[in-house]
Amino acid sequence: MQIKKMYSIIKPQGPKVPWKRITCNNQASPKSTFISWLAILDRLVTENRLLVWQIPCDPCFFFCAGANEIVNHLFFDCSYSKVIWSSMIHVLGFTRHVLSFAYELQWIVKYCRKTDAKRRLIMMCFSETDYNVWL
C-alpha cells in the first residue's frame, strides 16, 4: 500500500468550511486572525458568555449600552463598530451597507475567492478591524 493512501485512511477528515481562506491565507497579524477565527466560531469571551458561565458581569455592550455583548452585536450590528467597518470598506472602494457579522463574513468569503492583492487586503482589513473592535 502506498504511503499516501495509508495517510488518507488514518488522517481524520473534518468538514470543509467556507471561511478557511480568511483564517489560513490571511496577511493580517496572527493575533487578528486568531480573534477573527474565534469570532467566526462564536467563541469570544463576551459578557453574555461570562453570564452563561455564571461569572457576574454587566451584559450590556460598553460602547452603546443598548444591547447585550454578543458576537453579532459586537461586530457590525453596533453603531460604533458599524461606523468603523463602513469606513474601512469605503476606503477600500466599496459603496455598500454594512450588515451583520454573518453577512459580512459571507460577503468576504464570496468576494475573496480569488487571491489578487485587493482581495488579500480586504481579508486583512476584515481581521484587523475585528481585532481592533475586540480590543
- pLDDT tens figures, 9-35: 888 777 888 898 888 888 999 999 999
C-alpha separations of 1 from 4, 5, 35, 109 in Å: 9, 7, 42, 38
Domain boundaries, the chain: 17-134
Question: What's the pTM value of the predicted model, to 2 decimals?
Answer: 0.82
Alpha carbons 99 and 46: distance in angstroms, whole number: 20
Sequence-ordered list of residues with C-beta below 8 angstroms from that of 122, at least 6 positions apart, any chain: 89, 92, 108, 111, 112
- The one-letter amino acid at 131: Y
Mean pLDDT of 81-100: 91
